[in-house]
Structure 1
Amino acid sequence: MNELKPFKTILYATNLGDRMRPVFRHALNMARIHHAKIIMLHAVAPIGSTGQAILSMYLPDKQVHDIEQESLNQLIDTMRERLKNYCAEEDDFCKDKDSLIDKIVVSPGNPAHVINHYAEAHAADLIVIGSHTRHANDHTMLGSTARTVTQHSKVPVLIIPNGE
């Protein structure tokens, strides 16, 4: 019989949307229960070949790269600011924030692929992600990123409802 191992590294995937607080709260609770570290990850979808072609017509490659890097840095700053705000509003989190949050990462690419790749590359034991449910014809549908992550993940995925 396989023994269940505690989670040591939890990958919390966020889209930085308004409804991510319950998802983050679950990631924190799992980290506390398992004495695990959290990696906060935001994946940025690529702009596509048309957008790249337009940018390259007007800007040199180096400048495009610099703009992309600055945008990623701004997103990391946004994530740190949101974490600070969460800490200010959720007093119980402040006391163990530094022992729970291992790193904050922004990575470009298809979100589902980035999440699964990052989880595998950094030995995550659990992925925590929002469902981003949509309602269509009285049916609840799982968001495409959450669906793809669960279909291809090699580790357990905890999906937290955060739809409208």
Structure 2
Amino acid sequence: MLAELDFKHILYATDLGRHTRPVFRQAVRLAQKFNANIIMLHVVEPLGRTGASILSVYLPDSDLERVEHEGMRKTVEQMRQRLERFCEEEMEAHNLDSLHVSDIVVTSGRVDEQILKQAEKHQADLILLGSCYRRQGLHGDSTHRLTQHAKVPVLIVPNCSD
């Protein structure tokens, strides 16, 4: 079936968890096979209600909003740097000239919504992510919602190896 498909833009969504490398390598292999580019995406989820409630005890609303905004900005920048380092490490480890990564995107919001938004924005023809069904987390409910609403194929690479 893959021989009939022609992927040019692969959106690779990662939580940078401990099993990220094998899933990323699968994305690179597909990009090499189809001469496609990879858009790496990491979504930072906003501060939850519990965290906001705790902070609101110590900070006035105006400070809380500023602290939350500044914290998110710093987190997004740090994650972008981590993804760049990750790509450099993979290139060195596998002696590659290119990983086919055309863009690194770090954004904030609900994971499934941001993956769908970025897939459309970057005209992705494949969404690729890792998932472990033995645990809930970034790719539990988000994966289910994603597969229900995606307009392009979603490739879920199992990444539960211990």
TM range (shorter): 0.7 to 0.9
Amino acid at match of 2:88: K
Number of matched pairs:
151
The question of 1:66 aligning with 2:70 is answered yes
Mapped partners of 1:60, 1:51: distance in 2: 11
- Whether contact under 8 Å (1:55, 1:64) holds in the other structure is no
What amino acid sits opposite 1:96 in the alignment?
Answer: S
**Is 1:95 the counterpart of 2:92 in the alignment?**
no
- Runs of 4+ with deviation above 6 angstroms: none
Q: Deviations over 1:29-55 (max 9, x none)?
A: 111111111000011122123423444
- Among 147, 150, 154, which residue is 1:150 paired with? 147
Is 1:124 the equivalent of 2:124? yes
C-alpha distance in 2 between matches for 1:96 and 1:30: 13
Q: What is the CA deviation profile of residues 51-82 of structure 1, one whole-angstrom value per residue up to 9, with x for unaligned ones?
A: 23444552353343222101110010111111
Match of 1:162 in 2: 159
User: C-alpha deviations, 1:10-39, integer Å up to 9, x for none?
Assistant: 000001001011111111111111111100
CA contact (8 A) 1:130 1:146 kept: no
Contact kept, 8 Å, 2:91 with 2:98, in 1: the verdict is no
Say whether the 8 Å CA contact 1:11–1:126 is kept in structure 2.
Answer: yes
Q: TM-score, normalised by structure 2?
A: 0.83
The unaligned stretches of length 5 or more in structure 2 are none
**Gap change, CA 1:60 and 1:147, over 3 Å in 2:** closer
On the 8 A contact 1:133/1:162 being kept in 2, the answer is no
* Matches of 2:111 and 2:160, distance apart in 1: 18
| Superposed displacement of residue 121, structure 1 | 2.1
- The corresponding residue for 1:78 is 82
Q: State how far apart, in whole Å, the 2-side matches of 1:6 and 1:20 are.
A: 25
Secondary structure class of the residue paired with 1:134: coil
> What amino acid is the match of 1:130?
G
Residue aligning to 2:45:
45
Q: Give the Cα separation in 2 of the matches to 1:68 and 1:152.
A: 27
Contact 1:134–1:143 at 8 Å: present in 2 too? no
Partners of 1:133 and 1:63 lie apart in 2 by 35
Provide the C-alpha distance between the structure 2 equivalents of 1:61 and 1:147, rounded to a whole number of angstroms: 31
What is the RMSD computed on CA atoms of the aligned residues? 1.9
TM-score, normalised via structure 1 length: 0.82
Q: Which runs of 5+ in 1 are unaligned?
A: 136-141
Q: Which residue of 2 aligns with 1:11?
A: 11
Contact 1:43 1:108 in 2 (8 A): yes
